[in-house]
Structure 1
Amino acid sequence: MPRSSPLDGVRFAFGTLTVFPVRVTRWDREAARGGMLCAPLAGLAVGAAAAALGLVLLFLGAGAPLAAVATAAVPAVLTRGLHLDGLADTADGLGSGKPAEDALRIMKQSDIGPFGVIALVLVLLAQVAALAQAYDTSWARGAFAAVVSATLARLALTLAARAGVPAARPEGLGAAVAGVVPVRGALLAAVAVAVPAAAGGALFGAYDLARTALAVVVALAAAEALLRHCTRRFGGVTGDVFGGLAETAATTALVVLSLG
């Protein structure tokens, strides 16, 4: 086994959660723990790239709707659609109404069912509409929303990988990261994301500070509600569930940040 390094977690996070050319040198539970704790860093990078493209298009004369579409597309591209695919599969599994074993089998199939299609359409429409509203208010607020939502999406993965949350299957990414993060570490990661996010919102004014804080709370609450429901229905988490959690948190954050 390669020698342990503080960068193992960063490599794990970027190598498994993004398409950035990072080589994962370790795939053990220790590296997975560090990787899930570093997941918000991967989200920050993805969000920054998404915001940058949106701002470039606005600078070149594009309208807010086009910039919003491009901004929403970047996270999908930088994750190879992994989280969107997980959202669709999770929706199909939950929507099937079947017992856990049958629902998990449905989720492993390569095709997308009606519940998955509906979930994808509604989530992407909500993301684009929310981003367009934010960009229309100001370019800076739109970019800020893109960064915060992408970071919160990966923070939801950190929290879902906490100790006590079981894996639904003995194999796959879900099994590799399920329960690896100590509860205290998950809480510290949440604080490490929430405080800078709120501080960033404060730069726009007191209302934005409150709105950003609300976005953090509501996004994580929505992801937690989905996590608990999936754990009850499937007996634990899977890689698809992690994808669904990320998209749920990101969409919820964008909607809250676009209000007012």
Structure 2
Amino acid sequence: MTSPLRAAWLATSWLTVVPVPQPKSAPTRRDGGAALAATPVVGIALGAVLAALAYGLSRTDLPTLMIGLLLVTIAAALTRGMHLDGLADTADGLGCFGPPERAQQVMREGSVGPFGAATLVLAIAIQATGFAALTDHGHWLQLGYAVAIGRVAAVLTARSSLKPFSDNGFGALVIGTQRVSAILWVVAAIAAGAVIDLDQPWRGPVITAVVLAIVWAFGAHCARRFGGLSGDTLGASIEIATAATLFGLLA
């Protein structure tokens, strides 16, 4: 059994640029499942960092839209841009014609096509304006919460009912490994939503439930289209959930 400390260590080394020493032995699928189950912890830490940066930047004369763009840029830098890359590859795969094998090939090519480029622009625009608006209103907790929910979405997308479409790569280590952890993180996320808006405590849970329902449906659709999932689809889920949470909080 993978210890919680090793799981958090692996999640941090895989999903951020924090200089955590790499494990001496190759991680197993059990390690991968444990690391993915710890991903929301990384999301909470990242959300806290971005909220703190937003607070600091709000004390400058920078326009709030520029602050929002800076926060998206910093988030991408701290995560190696891998989630945005996964979003672009997934969009290109969904946008192509042909059987699942053709879609998988498109996702593996690495270059960004028209669907991927358009999706990236839209996602970055939504997140930047969302971060800017929350910064403008001083809603630091909501800003961090949106980032954390993105990582809960990754756990939900790797649920046990879905399988990887390849025997190699990151997806093979983590897709289909989340059972109890997916349920626990969804329940915790919905419950935590009650504290992000004390004037209307029902809003957070409703927004979170809707966002995670969208992620659930997105994962199921990708699994049908691609014949399984990959690490790219996890990245896409993270970016979609973050953007959708920001949209819901500001609607």
Q: TM-score range by the shorter chain?
A: over 0.9
Where does residue 188 of structure 1 map in the other structure? 184
Aligned equivalents of 1:78 and 1:219: distance in 2? 24
8 Å contact from structure 1 (residues 214, 256) kept in 2: no
Q: Is 1:19 aligned with 2:11?
A: no
Aligned equivalents of 1:211 and 1:62: distance in 2? 30
Aligned equivalents of 2:10 and 2:53: distance in 1? 26
8 Å contact from structure 2 (residues 192, 205) kept in 1: no
CA RMSD of aligned residues (A): 1.6
Deviation of 1:20 (Å): 1.4
Where does residue 147 of structure 2 map in the other structure? 150
The amino acid of 1:172's aligned partner reads G
The amino acid of 2:6's aligned partner reads D
Aligned equivalents of 1:235 and 1:31: distance in 2? 24
TM-score (norm 1): 0.90
1:20-99 maps to which residues of 2 (within 5 A)? Answer: 20-25=18-23, 27-99=27-99
The amino acid of 2:77's aligned partner reads V
Alignment equivalent of 2:206, drawn from 214, 221, 224? 214
Indicate the SS of the match to 1:80: coil
Indicate the SS of the match to 1:163: coil
Q: Which runs of 5+ in 2 are unaligned?
A: none
| Cα distance change on mapping 1:38 and 1:4 into 2, 3 Å | closer
**Percent identical residues:** 34
8 Å contact from structure 1 (residues 156, 245) kept in 2: yes
Q: Is 1:169 aligned with 2:166?
A: yes
TM-score (norm 2): 0.93
Deviation of 1:134 (Å): 2.2
Where does residue 3 of structure 2 map in the other structure? 5
Q: Which runs of 5+ in 1 are unaligned?
A: none
The amino acid of 2:153's aligned partner reads A
Number of aligned positions between the proteins: 249
Aligned equivalents of 1:236 and 1:73: distance in 2? 30
8 Å contact from structure 1 (residues 55, 67) kept in 2: no
Where does residue 197 of structure 1 map in the other structure? 193
Aligned equivalents of 2:107 and 2:33: distance in 1? 25
Aligned equivalents of 1:200 and 1:134: distance in 2? 12
Deviation of 1:91 (Å): 0.4
